[in-house]
Amino acid sequence: WDRGLLAPIHAVGSPSATRSHFDAQDYMESATPDNKGTSDGWLNRYLHAREHEEASAFRAVSLTQQLPRALQGPAPALAIDQLGRFGLRAGDRGDMMQSSFEAQYAAAADLT
């Protein structure tokens, strides 16, 4: 973490003693064990904390019909259920929008 790297660890546990699979999943995605009142997910809180004025919803995309719990909250995020059908209604600005997205993608690729 101190070096700016994240290492996901498979099959970790939770301090919550709940016997409900649904509550346990909610606690993991909100990162607030035993607190059902959390309105946003842990990943959205991270995105919100690292937000800047040029933050784009495209920096957090879920390839699902609706946003997973971890991405719900105030920071912009997208759910795209069928990538092949995704598009923007840009009218005569379509070429400009495409160039802009390609530039954002190229800049983001340099960050990895």
Query: Which among 41-45, 85-89, 97-101 has the top mean pLDDT?
Result: 41-45
Per-chain mean pLDDT for the chain: 87
Q: How far is CA 65 from CA 28, 42, 70, in A?
A: 20, 20, 14
**Does residue 11 sit within a domain?**
no
50 found inside a domain: yes
Q: 29 lies in which domain range?
A: 21-109
User: How many angstroms separate the CA atoms of 104 and 102, rounded?
Assistant: 5
Q: What is the pLDDT of residue 1?
A: 66
Assess whether pLDDT exceeds 70 at residue 110. no
- Residue 101 covered by a domain: yes
pLDDT score for 102: 84
User: Does 93 score more than 70 pLDDT?
Assistant: yes
Of 22, 25, 1, whose CA–CA distance to 14 is shortest?
Answer: 25
16 occurs within a structural domain: no
Q: Where are the beta strands (DSSP E) in 38-97?
A: 61-62, 78-79
Residue 74 is assigned to a structural domain of this protein: yes
Residue range 60-71: mean pLDDT, rounded: 94
List, for residues 19-28, the tens digit of each pLDDT value.
999 999 999 9
Is pTM, for the whole model, over 0.95? no
Domain count within the chain: 1
